[in-house]
Amino acid sequence: MCRIITPGEGHEHGTGTVAEPAAIAELLRESLIGELQTTGDLMARLEMIEDAEVSHALFHLLEKKRRLTDDLWLLLRRVEDRFFEAGENHGHSHSH
């Protein structure tokens, strides 16, 4: 089953596009959650399917999804770093 995502659906960003790092990070987190859920689904199906050819193909798809998830995680971290470096929502400065 496919899920169609439209602006404003499933999150509180309203309609349109986002430019602020915090809002972008939230969208990336939602995407990462989706990737992890579908990876879990594929893993479960891999365990259920006895056909060697299909299992082999699913195994390679899971490898690709793993790399995609890694890339998405790294992108999320870069956007979060921009948010924390800006420090606009922190309200004061001090060294940690």
Tokens 């689904």 belong to 41
- Return d(Cα 20, Cα 65) in angstroms, integer: 27
Q: How far apart are CA 56 and CA 79, in angstroms?
A: 35
Helical H runs in the chain? 21-48, 52-86
Q: Which pLDDT belongs to residue 87?
A: 77
Q: What is the pLDDT of residue 8?
A: 55
- Whether the model clears a pTM of 0.85, i.e. scores above it, the answer is no
Q: CA 48, 52, 57, 62 torsion: positive or negative?
A: positive
Written as tens digits, the pLDDT of the chain (96 aa) is 445 455 555 555 455 788 899 999 999 999 999 999 999 999 999 999 999 999 999 999 999 999 999 999 999 999 999 999 887 655 556 665
What is the per-residue pLDDT for 25?
95
Residue ranges per structural domain of the chain: 21-82
Contact status, residue 11 vs residue 17, Cβ threshold 8 Å: no
Q: What is the spatial distance between Cα 51 and Cα 33, in angstroms, rounded to a whole number?
A: 29
Q: What is the rounded CA–CA span in Å between residue 27 and residue 36? A: 14
